[in-house]
Structure formats: C-alpha cells, structure tokens
Amino acid sequence: MTLTLLDWRRRMAGLYAAARAVPDPETGWRLWRNGRDALFATHPDSPLDAPARARFAGLPFAPYDPALRFEALLEPAAPQRLETPTAGDGVVPFERIGTVALGELGRIDVWWLAGYGGGVFLPLHDGSAGRGTYGGGRYLLDTVKGADLGGSGERLVIDLNYAYHPSCTYDARWSCPLAPEGNRIAAPVEAGEQLPPGGWY
C-alpha cells in the first residue's frame, strides 16, 4: 500500500461529496462519472493497467434514469452474519442491519462492515450480471470507501444509476466481496456502469 492509494480514496470520496452537494441528481451523477473517468485514466492506483489506461476512452454507462433513484427506508431484518473470504484481506465480516425496497425491482439486504471503522455495504447482483455487467455483480454503496449518496434518519439514498463495478472486474490483483443471496434480484437493472463490448483489460 502507498499514499497514492490514500489519494485515490480521498478523491473518490470527494466525488461522492460533490454529487451530494448538487441539488439536481443527474448533474451530480455526471460530475461523479466525469471524475471517475479522470481517475481511471490517469491515477497511479487506477484498477486499469498501463496498456488499458492508454486505450481508455471512458467507462460505459447507461443513460441516467431518474426513476431508479430511491430514498429507501431501512427496515428491520433478522440478524445475519456473513463472512466473506478474500485473497488479500482474509475473512471480511458483514452483519445485516436491515433491508431496503427498490420499487418494483424488489427488496435487498443492507450490510454493515463489522471490521475496524465499519461502514454500510450494498452490493447488487441483477439480471444483467454476466451479460452487460460484471458476472459477480456491482456495488451501490460502500461507505468505508466513500461511496455514499447520503440520506436522513432511517433512509438511505440509493441511486441505481451509480451502480459501479468493483476493482476486481478490471484486475485480478484486487479481491472483492460479492453479492450474497439477499442482494440478488432476477430483473435486469438497465442503469449504471456497463462492460465495454470488447473489454479493455
């Protein structure tokens, strides 16, 4: 690990903070997207290697759909502990803290990272996984890394247009917790980050 990775984390958290500060959700999303593209293209801790960065032309995203933004109420769920083995971080523990409804798409589990520092973790494996998106699913929130769209009281802002691929999508050096059963829905979510047709890695 190096301080360049700390810089990556700071910059990524800053993109989410800038998006939260903009009154118009789509404008905030565009700021976040453009900033993410810049980091992927130029930052030393980009998950893209040097050859992939050289041919990188931006992360492909579906058009913004305002109907896929939710201020979701965190509702109670039976306690559950999930222990996820990873290649680099050993076993990463998560505890279910509730569920949220995503409109007609259904309900998914919300997890708390039970390790040092904690944080909300919300992965999603939808019907597009393995086709237009990474087969292991995408992330919606990962607040320990700054991926946080805000909320108030018992509500979380969950915007499926921000669904993004974990770093292990681009480079096998990274080890990423994937969506458990309670974070899988059958319907495809035609929003968020997509896989480029020919790949770049």
pLDDT for 140-165, tens place per residue?
999 999 999 999 999 999 999 999 99
pLDDT digits (tens, 9 = 90+) for 66-81: 999 999 999 999 999 9
What pLDDT is attached to residue 123? 97
3-state secondary structure of 130: coil
Interatomic CA distance for residues 34 and 197, integer angstroms: 20
pLDDT of 200 reads: 54
What is the reported pLDDT for 92?
A: 84
Closest by CA to 179, choosing from 109, 132, 131, is 109
Average pLDDT over residues 164-191: 88
DSSP letters spanning 38-97: HHHHH-TT-SS-HHHHHT-----BPPP-GGGEEEEE-B-----EEEEEETTTEEEEEEEE
- Per-residue pLDDT band for 201 (boundaries 50, 70, 90) equals very low
Q: Which two tokens stand for residue 62?
A: 């579906």
